[in-house]
Amino acid sequence: EAGVAQSPRYKIIEKRQSVAFWCNPISGHATLYWYQQILGQGPKLLIQFQNNGVVDDSQLPKDRFSAERLKGVDSTLKIQPAKLEDSAVYLCASSFEGAAGYTFGSGTRLTVV
Amino acid sequence: AQSVTQLDSHVSVSEGTPVLLRCNYSSSYSPSLFWYVQHPNKGLQLLLKYTSAATLVKGINGFEAEFKKSETSFHLTKPSAHMSDAAEYFCVVIDNTNAGKSTFGDGTTLTVKP
């Protein structure tokens, strides 16, 4: 089966600019996750979707971050405006059900300068 | 609230010697536990998972983990390290009573010396 697709792989932007990341989960996986992984730390959950509904976005900085999952398939994560501390790898993962484990995409490495 | 503590940020072993990566957790009575591996510039790969079946779980590449409820631990082991095992390892707990909310540990970097 095809894996979780993410794009772009790398992005460099200046602070206060906006950026968007895209994720296409594994077909049939109802649950989709966005994580932020800062260098030297474990991934931190930003938002979890079940189909096209939000299950958990308690750690999403909603003043600058937004995410959507139209039609319960693809998802986009947006940052506007970006700050230096947003430099990180943004990982998308999907699962059929949480207890089965997640499949991760390769991530998008964001550098804010 | 659930939490995961990986007790060692760095572990160094010689090739051919045993590996032990330690993980303690705090969660509800029915968590699912996972170990993921991340090689440099690669994505996260599932090594093994515990989901309330057998407490000794076997994963890929010869890794095993034992769920010990009394000690709230889920340590990862391998009898003999290989150079290709050098990577970052993450212990993850999923709360099955809270919409599958996940918490990652901060990771353990495994170095394998020739």
Three-state SS letters, chain A: CCCCEEECCEEEECCCCCEEEEEECCCCCCEEEEEEECCCCCCEEEEEEECCEEEECCCCCCCCEEEECHHHCCEEEEECCCCHHHCEEEEEEEECCHHHCCEECCCEEEEEC
* Nearest residue, CB atoms, A101 vs list B49, B96, B104: B49
Contact B77, B31 (CB under 8 A): no
Q: Does B45 touch chain A (CB under 8 A)?
A: yes
Residue B85 φ/ψ, nearest 5 degrees? -80, -10
Helix (H, G, I), strand (E, B) or coil at B106: coil
Q: Count Cβ–Cβ pairs < 8 Å, chain A vs chain B.
A: 60
Residue of B nearest to A47 (CA): B101
Which chain A residues are Cβ-neighbours of B10 within 8 angstroms? Answer: none
Least reliable range by pLDDT among A69-83, B48-62, B70-84: B48-62
| A87 touches B at CB < 8 Å | no
Beta bridge partners of A45: A35
CA distance A11 to A30: 28
B99 with A50: Cβ contact below 8 A:
yes
pLDDT of residue B31: 84
Q: What is the pLDDT of residue A5?
A: 95
CA distance B114 to B107: 23
Identify which of B34, B99, B104 has the shortest CB distance to residue A101. B34
Local confidence band at B58 (pLDDT 50, 70, 90 cut-offs) = very high
pLDDT in tens, A48-65: 998 889 988 999 999 999
